[in-house]
Amino acid sequence: MYGPERVEDVLEKVAAGMNYSEISRITGVSRRTVGTWARGNVPTARDKWKALCVVCSDSFERLAVGPYGYLLGLYLGDGSIAEYPRAFRLRIVCCNAYPALVDECVMAMQDVLPSRVCLVPCAGCTEVSSYSKHWACLFPQHGEGPKHKRPIVLEDWQQSVVDRFPAPFIRGLIHSDRCRVLNHVNGTAYPRYHFTNVSSDIRGLFASACERLGIEWRQNNHKNLSVAKRASVRKLDEFIGPKS
């Protein structure tokens, strides 16, 4: 997918009288495409929406990495993608006990892929959802059946985001799939974080991201990880936010 600047550059060279082969060599646009544009068949408004998807346009430098890491954590923790005839629907379920999280989820969706976001009340929760052809591009972990019954592996570009900016990713996972609690020992309250997910792959992603920040964790049972060391809890407190 070529952006409007590339199209304009090609058309300027056509207007200057350059031949199609020379334009193709200079711009990297195929000779056939140069001819198509020269005849007036330029990318349409519909094509501009493709350019909004960093995957389709191969322009990952435009990705809002903080909001994306957070939204990826929310999606893996408690989100889903449904396929419709003309679009995909990304759906994140947020607990009404934490209304600020609903607002943050909405902002993250809009920052990652500008589109209309819908809020649907349901028992004690709010469904935050958005329709687009490109949600499955941005979250290729989409597939049939529950996440814990299929492999959850990040694409290289996703892993790069998580490796460089693990905090938003961890924050999204904790906001969707667990909380900060107080553990009472001999009358003294000690804070700790729990992260629960049936998928071993998703638990592994959480643990790996924690390790990149020097956060110690341990596995309590087959689906629950905890962070209890004082220094590690303090590090999480710095960026996790209101869900406590």
Q: What is the pLDDT of residue 172?
A: 95
Q: What is the pLDDT of residue 45?
A: 45
Q: What is the pLDDT of residue 50?
A: 52
User: Which of the following CATH numbers is that of domain 61-237: 3.40.109.10, 3.60.20.10, 2.40.128.110, 3.10.28.10?
Assistant: 3.10.28.10
Q: Write out the two tokens for 41.
A: 């068949």
Q: What is the pLDDT of residue 46?
A: 45
Taking the chain (244 residues) in runs of 10, the rounded mean pLDDT of each run is 72 82 89 82 54 81 92 94 91 88 93 89 91 94 91 96 95 86 76 92 97 95 92 92 57
Length of the chain: 244
Q: What is the pLDDT of residue 85?
A: 86
The domain limits of the chain are 4-43, 61-237
